[in-house]
Amino acid sequence: MSHPPRHIGRLLFPGLTQLDLTGPAEVFGRLPGARLHLICKTLDPVTADRGLRILPDTTFQDCPRLDVICIPGGPGQIELMDDTPTLDFIRRIAEHCQLITSVCTGSLVLDAAGLLDGYQATCHWSSIDQLALPGAIPVARRVVRDRNRISGAGVTSGIDFALSVVAELAGDDTAQAIHLQMEYDPQPPYACGSPHSAAPALLARVREQSAGFIERRRQATLRAAQHLSPVSHPKP
């Protein structure tokens, strides 16, 4: 049985969190007809935040028209908030996408590009409040859909997110088959995977450990909001 090709692009950048990229890639790669593209400024290897090196296969200039664009997150997202060539590429490629998507703090990059103004979206719990600065509407859920925007929360939510994207593209039956193929049946050893379930002392400790980094991210988000403030972005 033949399936229509679906071009799914994932942005690569130094310092991304690899699971934001590879979790959804495992799902998308099982979608019949999927053609995956790893997009970067150049074809040089990209080093993720934990040291994994990843090879892009297309550049901004050569990227084909996409059905889905997905922006992962990670510490390197901070630099992207001021990266005009990357933000311009995202705006350009998103114009013809059926779905404009993100995982983790990738939603902040979409927000910096002006593509979440007035849209509900989610993000890693430590930074979800920052979505409101450029114009998004923060929603603390694992996967959030608003019209043709779909966003996943932090890191591991990328698999849930990608299954939701597949369901939108190919239906629930296809998404459920991939879910089963992957034996995606998480049973974590601890019940502390979100601020809602973590003990207050643990949550306070983790917040304190990341406070300096989160402030750096906030400053980048504030700059993005200032750049967007004189611009009106149409909402479909």
Mean pLDDT of 90-99: 98
Pairing of the two strands 34-40 and 58-59: parallel
pLDDT in tens, 21-72: 999 999 999 999 999 999 999 999 999 999 999 999 999 999 999 999 999 9
236: pLDDT confidence band, cut at 50, 70 and 90?
very low
Q: Is 104 a catalytic residue?
A: yes
Total Cβ atoms within 10 A of residue 162: 29
Q: Mapping DSSP to helix (H, G, I), strand (E, B) and coil, where does residue 11 land?
A: strand
Q: How many Å apart are CA 228 and CA 232, to the nearest integer?
A: 8
Q: How many Å apart are CA 110 and CA 171, to the nearest integer?
A: 26
Q: Which residues contact 142 (CB under 8 A, 6 or more apart)?
A: 122, 152, 153, 157, 160, 161
pTM of the predicted protein model: 0.94
Nearest partner of 165 among 75, 98, 66, judged by Cα:
98
- Give the N- to C-terminal CA distance of the chain in Å, as an integer: 35
pLDDT in tens, 11-30: 999 999 999 999 999 999 99
Q: Which residues contact 179 (CB under 8 A, 6 or more apart)?
A: 163
CATH of 6-228, one of 3.40.190.10, 3.20.20.80, 3.40.50.880, 3.40.50.720: 3.40.50.880
Would you kindly state where each structural domain of the chain is located, as residue ranges?
A: 6-228
Residue 62 is given by DSSP the state T
Q: Which residues contact 120 (CB under 8 A, 6 or more apart)?
A: 136, 137, 138, 139, 144, 146, 149
pLDDT in tens, 141-195: 999 999 999 999 999 999 999 999 999 999 999 999 999 999 999 999 999 999 9
Query: Active site residue: 97, 104, 123, 192, which one?
Result: 104
